A = this chain, B = another copy of it.
Amino acid sequence: WNAPKDVQEPKVHEWIQTLDVKEGETVDWSHFDVAILGVPLSRSSISASAASENPDAIRRAWKYFTTYNMEEDVDLTALKVVDLGDVRQHVTDIPACHRHIQEAMVAMRTHHPHTLPLVIGGDHSITAMLVKGWKEAHPDERIGILQLDTHFDLRSLEDNGPSNGTPIRNLIESGTIRGEDVYNIGLHGFFNAKSLKVYADEVGVHYVTLKEARKKGVAQVVQDALQQLSQKVDTIYLTVDMDVLDISVGPGAPAATPGGMRTDELFEAVLLAGACPKVKAMDLVCLDPYRDVEQATVKAGVHVMLSFLTGLVKRKNA
């Protein structure tokens, strides 16, 4: 039967290392450029969601990908990436779940600050906790957000607590970030209450709808946002809500709808973000593998992650 062998040209699962620390050992974190962290929390979603199953679905799917990006002629093995496993969640205590997520980010920023956190959710509520964790570890930094989403995520926390409809408002109201440092690209359709737009305008959130973005090209609009953010913040946090995709290419994102982004637009957007030096963390959220069709959305999720890492290699080579 199969003996493991020395792999010359690895698949993604043969390249990403898994942390398996034995009692008393010390990990040499200096190795790692990127740390992947799963956050299997979706009981904080407004609608029923199994996005909690996404980290494992992504891990199972990435074995179908090589490390070589054909279109960019980039080999991801130039990076050292470690998979830290999942943040522990609780079945009935959502505040504890959120606390663990924030603590996990603090721990990462403390023990290995040179590794870039790449977080796989989970629902969008986790972004608030992750950015708060970053702020806790780096209290003096000004943090900007590049958000690719069908929604503002600016709902009031008074309605349902820190659910997946609220992370950006949560961050603004808690003083973690400024409204003007949020750039949302991809809004479309009839999926945001008008009052949220009014609020967005009040707090200065920048946004470009998908229709508007396509006039210039989505890539150009993303590039502009990165440039503007780079001039004013210390750290850009990229958050990708998979429901920004059109429902035909993202059927597994519960809130995806007709009229959304194409995958080639999304892949290019995150590649640009990966190449931007100020982008220091990313997450990918709201992908429910139980509702996927032929794994199309899960595979798109892996592709998003690998496109970001492609940008990161380009950044290092630049």
Min CB–CB distance A236 → chain B (angstroms): 24
Chain A: residues with CB nearer than 8 A to chain B? 1-2, 8-9, 12, 37, 42-46, 48-53, 65-71, 73, 75-76, 84-88, 90-95, 104, 125, 159-163, 187-195, 197, 209-212, 246-249, 251, 257-259, 263-264, 267, 290-291, 293-294, 296, 299-300, 303, 306
Residues of chain B lying within 8 A (CB to CB) of residue A209: 70-71
Question: Is B91 a contact of A163 with CB atoms below 8 Å?
Answer: yes
Question: Is A92 a contact of B2 with CB atoms below 8 Å?
Answer: no
8 Å CB contact of A161 from B48, B90, B303? B90
Question: Is B187 a contact of A70 with CB atoms below 8 Å?
Answer: yes
26 intermolecular pairs with C-beta atoms under 8 Å apart: A1-B104, A2-B86, A43-B94, A44-B92, A48-B51, A48-B290, A65-B190, A66-B193, A67-B190, A69-B189, A70-B189, A70-B191, A70-B197, A91-B160, A91-B161, A91-B163, A92-B160, A92-B162, A92-B163, A93-B161, A248-B248, A248-B249, A257-B299, A291-B294, A293-B293, A293-B294
Nearest B residue to A297, CB-CB: B258
Question: Is B161 a contact of A45 with CB atoms below 8 Å?
Answer: no
8 Å CB contact of A190 from B66, B92, B294? B66
Given A190-B303, A190-B306, 12 extra CB contacts under 8 A: A1-B84, A12-B190, A44-B91, A45-B91, A48-B290, A65-B191, A66-B194, A68-B197, A69-B189, A91-B163, A257-B303, A259-B303
Question: Is B246 a contact of A211 with CB atoms below 8 Å?
Answer: no
Bound-state CA distance A103–B290 (Å) is 33
